[in-house]
Amino acid sequence: MSDAALDRTPNVTGTKTLSINYGLFAFAIVALTILYICARLYQQAFGFSMGLDASSPEFGEYWMTLFRIELPVLYGAGALCWTYLFLTRDKNIEAITPEVELRSYFYLTMWLVVYSFCIFWTGSFFADGDGVWHQTTLRDTPFTPSHIILFYATIPIYLFFGVGSFVYAMTRIPAFCRGISLMHVFAVVGPFLILPNLGFNEWGHAYWLTEEIFSHPLHWGFVVLGWCALALAGVLMQIVGRFRELVPIVFKQEAASA
């Protein structure tokens, strides 16, 4: 890789710590855990009692209200965060020090950890809940207590962090600004496309598959898009590859004194 950072004099004076702040990362994990558990408790409280008939007034009150709130709030929060990341970007990204760059890679990794955390709640926990809901109750509309959480809450949440990781990398890390990480694109766009794939899913459930068979080809769009999670391996290798170049510079003094 052609590299500018290695040409620069690194700020290595007394560099033993990188001053990485884990606070926001820990906060995100804790806040998300609380949010997801609250969503599940809401399903527990009002799933069967208010959510069996999409045409009933109580469904409108308890579920469609939630739907109307969560959609703008979650997408709005995402848009705000992405905008913030963009507006606070480093205007001269090539000039950042190796230490700052190394720290940014750690932060990017944290973004991806939180993204992975969201993928778990969506792909496993709430998707499983959706499965068990559909085997139990009759499907009437695209809006069910399981869909209103799974599709319209947990998907925008992981998009918040997936797209966020992309914007973060592009605005803070030279390599990710200089070029577009193919695997990062896969890892973010694949799960993102699950959202438009819902159109196909609901079309299929209306006209093609009127019964619930989970392994039905109708669902395989989600599967293929889920495979894109593997692409984070490529991002990992990009990070590790750059670490090889940055670490010796940042820890140069330590190496010299050893």
Considering only residues 142 to 181 of the shown chain, the ones binding other proteins according to CB under 8 A are: 170-171, 174-181
Q: Dihedral through CA 131, CA 136, CA 137, CA 142, nearest 10?
A: 0
**Binding residue for other proteins, selected from 35, 40, 202, 204, defined by CB under 8 A:** 40
Q: How many CA atoms lie within 13 A of 131 on its CB side?
A: 12
Considering only residues 95 to 124 of the shown chain, the ones binding other proteins according to CB under 8 A are: 95, 106, 109-110, 112-113, 115-117, 119-124
Q: Which is nearer to other proteins, 61 or 94 (CB)?
A: 94
Q: How many residues of this chain bind other proteins (CB under 8 A)?
A: 101
Determine if 204 is a binding residue for other proteins (CB under 8 A). no
Q: Which is nearer to other proteins, 72 or 120 (CB)?
A: 120
Q: Which is nearer to other proteins, 43 or 72 (CB)?
A: 43
CA distances from 59 to 54, 84, 143, 171 (A): 6, 36, 10, 43
Determine if 129 is a binding residue for other proteins (CB under 8 A). yes
- Piece of the chain touching other proteins by CB under 8 A; list 62-70, 71-79, 126-134: 126-134
Q: Which is nearer to other proteins, 72 or 180 (CB)?
A: 180
- Piece of the chain touching other proteins by CB under 8 A; list 59-67, 74-82, 208-216: 208-216
Task: Please choose, from the candidates 135, 147, 100, the residue with its C-alpha nearest in 3D space to the C-alpha of residue 250.
Answer: 100
CB 169 within 8 A of CB 176: yes
CB 53 within 8 A of CB 59: yes
Task: Please choose, from the candidates 98, 95, 94, the residue with its C-alpha nearest in 3D space to the C-alpha of residue 13.
Answer: 98
Q: Which amino acid is at 92?
A: N
Determine if 249 is a binding residue for other proteins (CB under 8 A). yes
CB 197 within 8 A of CB 222: yes
Give the nearest distance from C-beta 72 to other proteins in angstroms.
25
Q: Dihedral through CA 186, CA 182, CA 118, CA 30, nearest 10?
A: 180
Considering only residues 69 to 88 of the shown chain, the ones binding other proteins according to CB under 8 A are: 86
Considering only residues 47 to 66 of the shown chain, the ones binding other proteins according to CB under 8 A are: 47-48, 52, 55
**Binding residue for other proteins, selected from 67, 81, 97, 139, defined by CB under 8 A:** 139
CA 144, chain centre distance (Å) = 23
